[in-house]
């Protein structure tokens, strides 16, 4: 078995375990025990569709990103991994990458064409484990293909890439959990479901707060932190809320120009008159009707 195959199996098993654990804790200590089932199912459909599309565009995204990184003389800073440099490089890289995510997240909220993409993430009214992966396929493809800032800045050793990927799974996977963790005064130490829920809140006082991916430190430093009260778990979604079907999730940034797709829910075509269909088929195929 090749190394790539082993890594893929470990990643898939890890994801499956995380999924099962998260489903268990979401049932045991929910923030909202009565999440509408239809909302959760819509979240799954929209997220699955967009993950599939960004995966299909993966080779094109990678080729475009590689061309830009090469043209820019990519890997300007070489991260050392010999001796104690290993820890310094890993911590330094995670800090820079986290600040980059904080800064770009703020841009996604203030530049209208970027908000048109990112608002898809915020359209989720039922936050659960799966919402962490709910990003519009074009958001991931365009950012990956045309703005490979981190690969241009750093030549990243694979082990640091794996460590940072594992660490980032925490905020991406766990910050959207429908779980009532009580972190008390530690709520601003690491991103968590309560801190990030404020970012998704429908309440006006929470607008443009808590952008951090991993470290709320950036929100504290740049004045965008909202420290939630012990019992502060606001409702989430866009204002006004929007129903998101599979088709609207695909064309999300352009949905205003396609009003016929508002609230579109695909259904299988239904054939009401089977006997009529059979007669038409018999006539077309030249068979004798019985
Ligand atoms: Zn956001
Ligand atoms: Zn989020």
Q: Per-residue pLDDT tens for 98-137?
A: 999 999 999 999 998 899 999 999 998 888 888 888 899 9
What three-state secondary structure class fits 226? coil
State which H helix or E strand residue 154 sits in: strand 154-155
pLDDT of residue 219: 94
Most confident range (mean pLDDT) of 142-146, 218-222, 272-276 is 218-222
Please name which ligand lies nearest the alpha carbon of 108. 1
Instruction: Tell me the CA–centroid distance for residue 67 and ligand 2, in Å.
Output: 30
Judged by phi (left if over 0) then psi (alpha if -120 to 50, else beta), residue 230 lies in: alpha
Measured from the Cβ of residue 160, the count of other Cβ atoms closer than 10 Å reads 19
Beta bridge partner(s), residue 236: 201
Q: Is 122 in contact with 237 (CB distance < 8 Å)?
A: yes
Question: What is the C-alpha separation between 174 and 183, in angstroms, rounded?
Answer: 14
Question: Confidence class of residue 184 from pLDDT cuts 50, 70 and 90?
Answer: confident
* Rg, Å, the chain Cα set: 23
Instruction: Tell me the CA–centroid distance for residue 53 and ligand 2, in Å.
Output: 20
Q: Is 213 in contact with 196 (CB distance < 8 Å)?
A: no
Judged by phi (left if over 0) then psi (alpha if -120 to 50, else beta), residue 118 lies in: alpha
Instruction: Tell me the CA–centroid distance for residue 176 and ligand 2, in Å.
Output: 6
Q: Would you state the torsion angle of the CA atoms of residues 249, 254, 255, 260, taken in this order, to the nearest 10 degrees?
A: -120
- Two tokens, residue 124: 């989720």
pLDDT of residue 202: 92
Question: What is the C-alpha separation between 257 and 269, in angstroms, rounded?
Answer: 25
Question: What is the C-alpha separation between 110 and 208, in angstroms, rounded?
Answer: 9
Collect all residues with Cβ–Cβ distance below 8 Å to 76 and sequence separation of at least 6: 152, 153, 154, 155
Instruction: Tell me the CA–centroid distance for residue 200 and ligand 2, in Å.
Output: 6
Instruction: Tell me the CA–centroid distance for residue 122 and ligand 1, in Å.
Output: 7
Instruction: Tell me the CA–centroid distance for residue 17 and ligand 1, in Å.
Output: 27
Q: How far is CA 290 from CA 198, 269, 278, 283, 285, in A?
A: 68, 27, 11, 11, 14
Instruction: Tell me the CA–centroid distance for residue 83 and ligand 1, in Å.
Output: 38
- Two tokens, residue 1: 């078995």
pLDDT tens digits, residue range 253-284?
888 777 655 555 444 444 556 676 677 667 76
pLDDT of residue 273: 61
Question: Confidence class of residue 169 from pLDDT cuts 50, 70 and 90?
Answer: confident
């Amino acid at each position: 078995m090749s190394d790539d195959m082993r890594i893929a199996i470990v990643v898939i098993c890890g994801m499956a375990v995380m999924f099962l654990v998260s489903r268990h804790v979401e049932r045991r200590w929910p923030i909202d025990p009565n999440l509408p089932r239809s909302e959760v199912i819509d979240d799954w459909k929209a997220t699955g569709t967009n993950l599939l599309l960004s995966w299909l565009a993966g080779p094109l995204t990678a080729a475009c990103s590689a061309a830009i990184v090469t043209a820019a003389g990519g890997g300007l800073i070489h991260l050392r991994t010999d001796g104690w440099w290993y820890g310094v490089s890993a911590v330094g890289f995670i800090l820079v990458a986290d600040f980059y995510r904080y800064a770009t997240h703020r841009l996604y909220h203030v530049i209208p064409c970027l908000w048109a993409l990112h608002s898809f993430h915020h359209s989720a009214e039922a936050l659960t484990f799966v919402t962490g992966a709910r990003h519009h396929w074009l958001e991931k493809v365009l950012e990956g293909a045309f703005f490979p800032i981190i690969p241009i800045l750093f030549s990243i050793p694979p082990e640091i890439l794996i460590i940072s990927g594992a660490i980032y799974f925490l905020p991406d996977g766990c910050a959207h959990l429908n779980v009532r963790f009580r972190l008390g005064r530690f709520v601003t130490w690491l991103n968590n479901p309560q801190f990030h829920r404020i970012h998704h809140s429908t309440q006006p006082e929470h607008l443009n707060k808590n952008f951090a991916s991993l470290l709320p430190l950036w929100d504290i430093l740049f004045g965008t932190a909202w420290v939630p009260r012990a019992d502060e778990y606001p409702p989430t979604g866009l204002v006004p809320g929007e129903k998101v079907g599979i088709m609207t999730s695909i064309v999300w940034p352009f949905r205003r120009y396609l009003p016929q797709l508002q609230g579109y829910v695909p259904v299988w075509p239904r054939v009401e008159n089977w006997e009529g269909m059979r007669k038409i088929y018999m006539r077309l195929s030249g068979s004798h009707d019985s």
